[in-house]
């Protein structure tokens, strides 16, 4: 029986396959390393507030510490609780959103939400956290009256609350001590349509122009942000962007010098008049 | 009143520690980065330094990587204030790094695993120049 000669290209094919396997192996290793680093970071993010809570509780039990000081410790425990809940909600949200769920698949259905009330409720939750690092948060109420008037937003409330919380948390983290963070309503024309937005403005770390485009990428953190706060997940704006896309809206990032403005921008059809809401 | 310098970029973490130390007649000076820590050491007579490892370097040490700036800070302090007792309060678990710190004469307390009462005992003993007998 004649054995057919081995085709000339077969050894070349094997080499190519080996090279491809080596590349895939390297990529897999890199992916493993990055997952390990990410999980370590997540673990640090979760344990840091818990460690602070533990010591604050122990300090409250310390009979030598005056009552007035203990009130500050309680306020600090509240802030750490807020940080922890917010963080856990972000991880839960990420797993849902990365499963490519449609808005309708979430437990809560879109609801009529007052943007002003939402902003006020959230800043009251974040104020103690801001105060601990010498910062203030204010809602510019007149802008909400001017832009939204009596209108509400037809959105999934928990998701939008989480997206706005992420903007607030970043603003608190990266603003300078002694500054005020403002929350205001704005309009902006996108694709010929006048869209409505909620902006969070802070004065703090400058963001480079090339970094602005990457802020919504999963895990991305700017250089100045990493230097100021070494630990961080880099998922806040990524999630806010995912949430807004589910609502056919956008997260718009603007930075000029030390002023940063992050905006949740809604398409006009998300604004619903009080009559229609009834 | 003796002064203890607490350097940590998470001030809420050291809030309970500061309260406990101040209730025991120590004055706590606080800084949030390496630059602030050095400034505080230049401006105050400090009896003991308590520092984190992972913290921002601040404006005076821009080239220092924030992930391990505490090591740089400790080396800087060893060079300029060689007699100052140092306690490191961090989450690092790398035994080689911890051994390195101990060889440099730094007492290491792990965040989250050390009870506040133990930390207070160690820090006050170090500030008073007493031998620390607590097993941490």
Burial of A8 (0-12, 13-18, 19+ CB in 10 A): exposed
Can you tell me whether residue A47 is helix, strand or coil? helix
Binned at pLDDT 50, 70 and 90, residue B47 comes out as: very high
- pLDDT for B43 equals 97
Judgement on whether residues A128 and A186 belong to the same structural domain of the protein: yes
Please tell me the distance from the alpha carbon of residue A90 to that of residue A187, in angstroms, as a whole number.
Answer: 27
**Is residue B21 pLDDT above 90, yes or no?**
yes
What CATH number should be reported for the domain holding residue A85?
1.10.287.130
Set of chain B residues whose Cβ sits within 8 Å of the Cβ of A50: 112
User: Which range has the worst mean pLDDT, A95-109, A229-243, B30-44, B73-87?
Assistant: A95-109
Which residues have CB under 8 Å from B84's CB, separation 6+?
B41, B46, B48, B49, B77
Residue B113: pLDDT above 70?
yes
Higher pLDDT, A134 or A138: A138
Measured CA to CA, the distance from residue A56 to residue A70 in angstroms comes to 9
Chain A residues touching B111 at Cβ < 8 A: 48, 51
| Full domain range(s) for residue A45 | 14-97
Tell whether the model's pLDDT for residue A274 goes beyond 80: no
Distance from CA of A222 to the nearest CA of B (A): 13
Q: What is the ipTM of this complex?
A: 0.89
Residues A146 and A86 reside in one and the same domain: no
Nearest residue in chain B measured CA to CA from A132: B12
Residue B121 contacts A, CB cutoff 8 Å: no
In-domain check, residue B135: no
Q: Give the residue from A34, A62, A97 where a domain finishes.
A: A97
Q: What is the average pLDDT across A136-149?
A: 95
Tokens for B122?
């160690």
Distance from CA of B29 to the nearest CA of A (A): 15
Which residues face A138 on adjacent strands? A182
Residue at token pair 């396959």:
A17
CA distance, residue A92 to nearest chain B CA (Å):
24
Asked whether the beta carbons of residue B23 and residue A62 sit closer than 8 angstroms, the reply is yes
Least trusted range by pLDDT, from A64-73, A108-117, A217-226, B113-122: A217-226
Strand, coil or helix: B24? coil
Total domain count, chain A: 2
How many domains does one find in chain B? 1
| Range with lowest mean pLDDT among A27-41, A197-211, B25-39 | A27-41
Separation CA A130–CA A172 (nearest Å): 6
Chain B residue numbers touching A72 (CB-CB < 8 A): 15, 19
Cβ of B112 within 8 Å of Cβ of A62? The answer is no
Q: Confirm whether A3 is domain-assigned.
A: no
* B30 at A interface, C-beta within 8 A: no
Q: Does B12 touch chain A (CB under 8 A)?
A: yes
Q: Which long-range contacts (CB under 8 A, 24 or more apart) does A208-215 make?
A: A209/A255, A212/A253, A212/A254, A212/A255, A215/A253
- Tell me: pLDDT of A104 over 60: no
Averaged pLDDT, B18-45: 96
Closest chain B CA to residue A130: B12
Q: How confident is the model at residue A154 (pLDDT cuts 50, 70, 90)?
A: very high
Strands B48-51 and B86-90: parallel
Contact B67 A230 (CB under 8 A): yes
CB contact under 8 A, B15 and A231: no
Q: Which two tokens stand for residue B125?
A: 């003993």
CA B136 centroid distance within chain: 15
Question: Within this chain, do residues A45 and A114 fall inside the same structural domain, yes or no?
Answer: no
Which pLDDT does position A4 carry in this prediction? 66
The residues near B54 (Cβ < 8 Å, ≥ 6 apart) are A230, A231, B9, B66, B67, B68, B69, B70, B90, B91, B92
Question: Closest Cα of chain B to A212: distance in Å?
Answer: 22
Residues of A in contact with B55 (CB under 8 A): 230
Strand, coil or helix: A35? helix
Q: Which domain does B54 fall in, by range?
A: 3-127
pLDDT over 70, % of chain A? 91
Q: A36 falls in which pLDDT band (50, 70, 90)? A: confident
At residue B10, the pLDDT reads 83
Give the end of a domain, one of A97, A125, A149.
Answer: A97
Using 50, 70 and 90 to split pLDDT, how confident is the model at A32? confident
Residue A55 contacts residue A65 (beta carbons within 8 Å): no
């Amino acid at each position: 029986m004649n054995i057919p000669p081995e085709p000339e290209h077969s050894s070349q094919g094997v080499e190519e396959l080996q090279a491809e396997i080596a590349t895939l192996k390297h990529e897999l290793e890199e992916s493993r390393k990055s997952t390990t680093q990410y999980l370590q970071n997540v673990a640090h993010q979760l344990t840091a507030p818990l460690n602070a809570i533990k010591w604050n509780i122990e300090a409250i039990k310390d009979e030598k510490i005056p009552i007035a000081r203990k009130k500050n410790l309680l306020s600090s425990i509240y802030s750490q609780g807020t940080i922890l809940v917010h963080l856990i909600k972000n991880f839960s949200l990420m797993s849902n959103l990365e499963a490519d769920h449609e808005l309708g698949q979430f437990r809560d259905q879109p609801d009529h939400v007052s943007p002003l009330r939402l902003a006020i409720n959230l800043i009251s939750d974040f104020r103690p956290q801001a105060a601990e690092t010498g910062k203030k948060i204010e809602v510019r109420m007149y802008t909400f009256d001017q832009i939204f008037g009596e209108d509400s937003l037809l959105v999934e409330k928990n998701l939008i609350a989480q997206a706005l919380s992420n903007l607030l948390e970043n603003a608190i983290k990266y603003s300078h001590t002694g500054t005020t963070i403002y929350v205001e309503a704005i309009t902006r024309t996108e694709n010929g349509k006048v869209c409505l937005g909620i902006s969070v403005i802070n004065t703090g770390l400058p963001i480079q122009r090339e970094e602005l485009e990457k802020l919504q990428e999963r895990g991305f953190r700017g250089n100045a942000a990493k230097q100021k706060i070494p630990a961080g997940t880099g998922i806040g704006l990524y999630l806010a962007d995912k949430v807004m896309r589910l609502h056919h809206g956008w997260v718009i990032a603007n930075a000029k010098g030390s002023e940063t403005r992050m905006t949740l921008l809604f398409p006009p059809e998300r604004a619903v008049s009080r009559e229609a809401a009834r | 009143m003796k002064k203890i310098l607490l350097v940590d970029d998470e001030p809420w973490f050291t809030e309970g520690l500061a309260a406990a130390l101040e209730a025991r007649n120590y004055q706590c000076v606080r800084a949030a980065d390496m630059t602030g820590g050095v400034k505080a050491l230049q401006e105050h007579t400090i009896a003991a330094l308590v520092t984190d490892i992972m913290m921002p370097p601040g404006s005076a040490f821009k080239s220092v990587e924030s992930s391990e700036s505490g090591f740089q800070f400790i080396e800087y302090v060893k060079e300029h204030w060689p007699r100052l007792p140092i306690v490191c309060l961090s989450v690092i678990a790398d035994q080689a790094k911890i051994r390195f710190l101990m060889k440099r004469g730094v007492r290491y307390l792990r965040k989250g695993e050390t009870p506040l009462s133990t930390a207070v005992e160690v820090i006050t003993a170090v500030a008073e120049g007493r031998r620390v007998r607590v097993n941490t």
